[in-house]
């Protein structure tokens, strides 16, 4: 069950929330993003990157065809998109878990495909379209520190 739910009224709102969260993230944090196409996952990553100090805002995009993009910021951002993977073993074969816990921030879109393999301390965010530009985000955090970060970001 989600410990916190948030209604985003726009892309700008989603990016601002993600930027606040990004400013508070620490080395080796992992975010698992789950949701359908167009639910706001990549928009969230754009805001997160900004909060982590990545300045090339137009450069952040879904790495669907390359599976991984790395953004140099306050901490390296390892942005995965697992949409094209068919099995959990595919994530291992592309070396995903070499980056998770490698000193940066791992952000995994379509994380439901590797749910069983995610680190126990991973912050999971589920995205739902609620009409127009409105999105509902459900946060699941096993660690008290992550719960506190999310609550602070939401205000």
pLDDT tens-digit profile of 3-41? 899 999 999 999 999 999 999 999 999 999 999 999 999
72-98 tens-digit pLDDT = 999 999 999 888 887 777 777 777 888
Which residues lie closer than 8 Å to 41 by C-beta, 6 or more apart? 33, 34, 35, 62, 109, 110, 127
Query: Domain 4-154 is of which CATH architecture?
Result: 3-Layer(aba) Sandwich (3.40)
Asked if 96 and 111 touch (Cβ cutoff 8 Å), the reply is: no
Give me the residue spans of the domains in the chain.
4-154
Task: Give pTM, 2 decimals.
Answer: 0.92
């Amino acid at each position: 069950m989600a410990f916190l739910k948030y209604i985003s009224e726009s892309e700008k709102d989603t990016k601002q929330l993600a930027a606040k969260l990004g400013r508070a993230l620490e080395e080796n944090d992992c975010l698992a993003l789950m949701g359908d196409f167009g639910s706001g996952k990549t928009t969230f990553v754009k805001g997160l990157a900004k909060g982590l100090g990545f300045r090339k805002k137009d450069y952040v995009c879904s790495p669907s065809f390359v599976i991984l993009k790395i953004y140099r910021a306050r901490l390296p951002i390892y942005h995965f998109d697992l949409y094209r993977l068919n099995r959990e073993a595919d994530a291992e074969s592309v070396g995903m878990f070499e980056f998770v816990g490698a000193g940066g921030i791992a952000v995994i879109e379509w994380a439901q495909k590797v749910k069983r393999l995610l680190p126990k301390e991973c912050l999971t965010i589920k995205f739902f379209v609620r009409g127009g530009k409105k999105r509902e985000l459900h946060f699941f955090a096993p660690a008290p520190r992550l719960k506190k970060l999310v609550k602070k970001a939401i205000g």
